[in-house]
Every structure is written in C-alpha cells, then in structure tokens.
C-alpha cells in the first residue's frame, strides 16, 4: 500500500486515558490519520462478563474518554462484539496499516490479542504493542530458579531490583483526525447508551455517582488529593475505615484511567530527596497489585481454582439462601461486617481492612466457598479486578499464594474495637446503631434495645472452632 494511504488504529481496552498511554502516543507520533476504537467484548471465549458496578463505571469512563479525545481533535469509535472479528472489520473500513495497543495479561485477552496479531502479520498490518498498565510485566520477574514467585516479599524485592521504572509519556498535544472510509465518511460507531451499561429499574447507582468521578480527570484529582493529604500518614491511616486514609485509586487503576507509571513518577516528584516510610508502604500496595497480576498470568484459572490444590478437599458448607443474603445485605449482626457490606452496596467500594474482615466472616465463620464471595464482590465492586479480586479472596481463604494462614480468623468485634474504636464508621453505614455509644456499638446484642438490627447470625467462638477443625482435616 502506498504510504499516502496509510492509516493508524489505536485499540483501547483497560487503558482509558490520554496520559501515559504509549499506544496512543506512538500512533500520534506517526502522524497518520488515526482511528481510536473501544470494543465491548462479551463474546470471546473465556472473557469474564463485567459485573453491575464495573458496567456503570465503564459507561461513565467511556463518556469522559470520548470528550477528552474530541478535545484533542480525535473521536472515540465504539463497537461491540467478539474483539478479533470487530478489529478486522474496523481495519477494513479504515484501510488500517498500523495497529497499536497496550498489552493485557489475562489468558482469554492474550488469546484474542494473539489472534489479531497473527491476522495482522498475515495481512501486512504493522502491530505495535506497549507496556502501560503494569510496572513489571509478569514474565520479566522470575525467581533464581527461573519460575514465578509465590511469595510477595521476595517478588517485590525482585521488582525493585529490576531497574528504573520508566518515565510516563506526556499527553499528545494534538491527535491526528480519524481515518475516513472510502467515500470520505467516518466509520459508524455505536451509541454508548445503546449498550445499556447503566442500571435501570431499579437504578441503584445513586450512591456510586455521589462517591466517584469516573474518568481520567477524577483519577488524577484523587492522586493529587492523596499525595497532598493522607499519603504521609498512610501507614496508620490505611487501617482506619472511618477516615479517608487511602488513595481510593483502585477503580481508576482497574480501568487504566491513571497509569501506575504516573503514580510512581508523582511520588518521586513530591518526595525528591527521600520517599517517606509511609509512602513506601503505599508503593508496596501497588506492588500487591503487580503481584496479583503475576499470579493470574501464571495461574489463569485463579478465579475458579484453588491455587493450593489441597484445598480441593476442603469441606465448604452449603449456605442457606437466608445466610448468604444476610452477608450480602449487611445483616449478619456483626457491625463491622455489616457496615462493610453496606458500604459496598451503596458506594461500590469497601475499605481494605473491612474487606478482609467481611471475607473472613464468609469463608471462615460461615465456611462458604471463597468463590461465592469472589463472585459477589465481582458484581458489586467498582474496582472488581480479574487478578486482585480472586488473589485476595484466596489469600483470605488460605488457599492462595502467600496466603493468610488458616488459623488467622478475623474477629469482627476485636477488629472494629481496634480500628473504629469510637464507632464512627459503623454509625455511618448502620443507622440502626446510631444511638449506641462507642463501647456498646461493637456488640449491639448486649444492648437492651436496638430496634431493626438483627441478632448475630452465628456465634463467633463456635464457628471459629468449627473452621479450625475443618482446616486441620486438610493436613490429614
């Protein structure tokens, strides 16, 4: 094809941003007519359908991205269908010669990308793929014996010794206008509303909309607010669910609205001389995100299979629908678990310490299979992540890599006394407990009259014993 006919296509996926988007920067630098496409793929084999909360997020994130692209002279083309087939269609419509994307790490996604790459190679389309969403790509970090890591601390040490993290790419000043079809028209896109990503009848998304600003602008604002405020006290603040002591960047990172390379650089710029210890702890949490992807890359069935195969013999209990609903709806009678589950339902997010307590209650006190909780979180979290969600559930269950030992059973009463001692977080999400003081609120069943709040679903000491017994049988 003559070079005057050449055109570029950027295929955006979980990288819904202009800043530090090497696929976009690379295409912009080439200067050819440029089409930018996002494909809603619910059909390719093995692709996990999005949950309700991430569908809501995706809608707003795409709307924000489309506006940012238009500001730069470009446009977002929306298409739906099996991604490999759709890319080929768009490529034919716009006579694409150069295709750009940022790499993905899940097996079904890699399989789609490999199919597209093979087609492109056979069709004379040049493919350029980039590292954008992980600081350390899973295959680059290996143990001395050449295998994947199973334990976080040596993994993160190896990452930090791997070499300098690259600088982020700046937002392109201008983007080339899109490629036209033969007749001079822009390829037809689909209407975002027609994808029905937003909940209707009932519309449960009010609390999400009050809490979040999906899109790159919201992500960068969160990052700046965090680094200006709680970052330097992160080591203690991150454990207190009643204060905004963490970054709340998780959904923004999930959708790639902010690049981890940008986060890394911003930290270095704010603290040029020495990174404070608390900020170092924050960086290692970003390391956990990398570790989860390392695990998923090396164990593609992380969401469905026990990482430790001995757990295949574990005697999970079948919950009654009433027990499961009590957990899902925040009506277990244990305030910390209930506040967390209600925070999740209302805002699409739950504080990490409370996630651990709520998950431990489900898999240890109720002995439910961790996959049941993982699926509920998948549907309700705005940050539901294909790697972090199953890796953390398996960590809590004890079936995962570097997992919490089986005898570590979070006691929700001790945890709330310790991390929400005055009960402010509990009161925020459980209005029935508003009248109890900071002492009584952690064990409301001991108070005389708490109308509307349930009695404990199960006893803590006996379910703890039952869990320990069940876990100990694994060793037989």
Cβ nearer to ligand FAD, comparing 72 with 355: 355
Distance CA 374, CA 372 (A): 5
Three-state SS at 475? coil
- Name the active-site residue from 115, 190, 244, 285: 285
Give the list of residues 6+ apart from residue 348 with CB closer than 8 angstroms, or none: 53, 56, 57, 207, 208, 211, 212, 251, 380, 381, 382, 383
List the structure tokens of 312: 């295949």
Name the minimum Å distance from CB 303 to ligand FAD.
10
Name the minimum Å distance from CB 99 to ligand FAD.
29
Distance CA 148, CA 168 (A): 27
Cβ nearer to ligand FAD, comparing 329 with 472: 329
Active site residue 288: yes
Name the minimum Å distance from CB 212 to ligand FAD.
12
| Beta strand segments in 218-359, E | none
Kindly report the backbone phi and psi dihedral angles of residue 414, in degrees, each rounded to the nearest multiple of 5, phi listed first.
-60, -40
As beta bridge partners, residue 102 has: 130
Kindly report the backbone phi and psi dihedral angles of residue 129, in degrees, each rounded to the nearest multiple of 5, phi listed first.
-110, 150
Active site residue 264: no
Name the minimum Å distance from CB 337 to ligand FAD.
12
Cβ nearer to ligand FAD, comparing 75 with 265: 265
Distance CA 105, CA 439 (A): 47
Helix ranges (DSSP H) in 299-369: 321-328, 335-347, 352-360
Cβ nearer to ligand FAD, comparing 23 with 286: 286
For residue 174, give the DSSP letter. Answer: -
- Name the active-site residue from 190, 195, 204, 352: 352
Active site residue 119: no
Give the list of residues 6+ apart from residue 28 with CB closer than 8 angstroms, or none: 34, 172, 174, 175, 176
Q: Which among 70, 14, 72, 69 is positioned nearest to 39, based on CA atoms?
A: 14
285 exposed, middle or buried (CB, 10 Å; 0-12, 13-18, 19+)?
A: middle
Name the minimum Å distance from CB 228 to ligand FAD.
14
- Name the active-site residue from 156, 288, 327, 395: 288
Q: Which among 155, 115, 111 is positioned nearest to 134, based on CA atoms?
A: 155
Name the minimum Å distance from CB 66 to ligand FAD.
25
Active site residue 449: no
Active site residue 352: yes
Going by their DSSP bridges, the two strands 126-130 and 8-12 should be labelled as unpaired
Kindly report the backbone phi and psi dihedral angles of residue 13, in degrees, each rounded to the nearest multiple of 5, phi listed first.
-135, -105
Name the minimum Å distance from CB 395 to ligand FAD.
7
381 exposed, middle or buried (CB, 10 Å; 0-12, 13-18, 19+)?
A: buried
Distance CA 115, CA 330 (A): 44
Cβ nearer to ligand FAD, comparing 172 with 230: 230
Q: Under a CB-based contact definition with an 8 Å cutoff, are residues 233 and 278 in contact?
A: yes
Name the minimum Å distance from CB 223 to ligand FAD.
10
How far is residue 373 CA from its own chain's centroid?
16
- Name the active-site residue from 101, 212, 370, 395: 370
Q: Under a CB-based contact definition with an 8 Å cutoff, are residues 15 and 102 in contact?
A: yes
- Name the active-site residue from 316, 345, 432, 443: 316
Active site residue 299: no
- Which residues of this protein are in contact with ligand FAD, per CB under 6 A? 238, 246-250, 253-254, 285-286, 288-289, 292, 352, 355-356, 359, 377, 381, 383-385, 388-389, 392-393, 396
Name the minimum Å distance from CB 392 to ligand FAD.
3
Residue 7 neighbours by CB distance under 10 Å? 21
Give the list of residues 6+ apart from residue 202 with CB closer than 8 angstroms, or none: none
Active site residues: 285, 288, 316, 352, 370, 393
């Amino acid at each position: 094809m003559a070079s005057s006919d050449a055109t570029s296509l950027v295929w955006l996926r979980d990288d819904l941003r202009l800043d530090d988007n090497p696929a976009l920067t690379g295409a912009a630098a080439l200067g050819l007519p440029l089409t930018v496409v996002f494909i809603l793929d619910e059909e390719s084999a093995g692709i996990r359908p999005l949950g309700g909360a991430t569908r809501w997020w995706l809608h707003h994130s795409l709307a924000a991205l489309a506006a940012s692209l238009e500001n730069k002279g470009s446009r977002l083309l929306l298409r739906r269908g099996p991604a490999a087939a759709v890319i080929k269609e768009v490529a034919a419509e716009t006579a694409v010669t150069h295709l750009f994307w940022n790499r993905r790490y899940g097996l079904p996604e890699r399989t789609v990308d490999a199919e597209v790459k093979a087609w492109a190679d056979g069709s004379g389309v040049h493919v350029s793929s980039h590292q954008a969403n992980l600081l350390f790509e899973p295959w680059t970090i290996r143990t001395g014996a050449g295998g994947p890591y199973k334990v976080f601390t040596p993994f993160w040490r190896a990452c930090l010794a791997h070499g300098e993290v690259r600088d982020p790419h700046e937002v392109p000043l201008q983007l080339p206008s899109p490629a036209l079809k033969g007749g001079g028209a822009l390829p037809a896109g689909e209407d975002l509303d027609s994808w029905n990503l937003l909940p209707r009848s009932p519309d449960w998304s009010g609390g999400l909309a009050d809490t979040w600003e999906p899109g790159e602008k919201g992500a960068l604002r969160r990052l700046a607010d965090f680094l200006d405020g709680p970052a330097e006290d992160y080591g203690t603040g991150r454990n207190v669910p009643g204060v905004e002591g963490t970054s709340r960047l998780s959904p923004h990172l999930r959708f790639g609205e902010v690049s981890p390379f940008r986060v890394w650089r911003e930290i270095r710029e704010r603290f040029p001389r020495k990174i404070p210890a608390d900020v170092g702890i924050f960086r290692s949490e970003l390391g956990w995100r990398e570790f989860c992807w390392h695990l998923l890359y090396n164990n593609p069935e992380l969401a469905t299979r026990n990482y430790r195969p001995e757990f295949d013999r574990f005697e999970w209990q079948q919950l009654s629908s009433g027990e499961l609903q009590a957990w899902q709806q925040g009506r277990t009678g244990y305030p910390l678990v209930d506040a967390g589950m209600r925070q999740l339902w209302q805002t699409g997010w739950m504080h990490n310490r409370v996630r651990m307590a709520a998950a431990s209650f489900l898999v240890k006190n109720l002995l439910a299979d961790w996959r049941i909780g993982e699926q509920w979180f998948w549907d309700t979290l705005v940050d539901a992540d294909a790697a972090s969600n199953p890796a953390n559930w398996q960590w809590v269950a004890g079936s995962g890599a570097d997992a919490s030992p089986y005898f570590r059973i979070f006691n929700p009463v001790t945890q709330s006394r310790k991390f929400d001692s005055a009960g402010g977080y509990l009161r925020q999400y459980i209005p029935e407990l508003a009248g109890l003081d900071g002492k009584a609120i952690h064990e409301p069943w001991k108070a005389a009259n708490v109308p509307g709040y349930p009695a404990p679903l199960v006893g803590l000491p006996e379910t703890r014993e039952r869990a320990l017994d069940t876990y100990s049988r694994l060793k037989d």
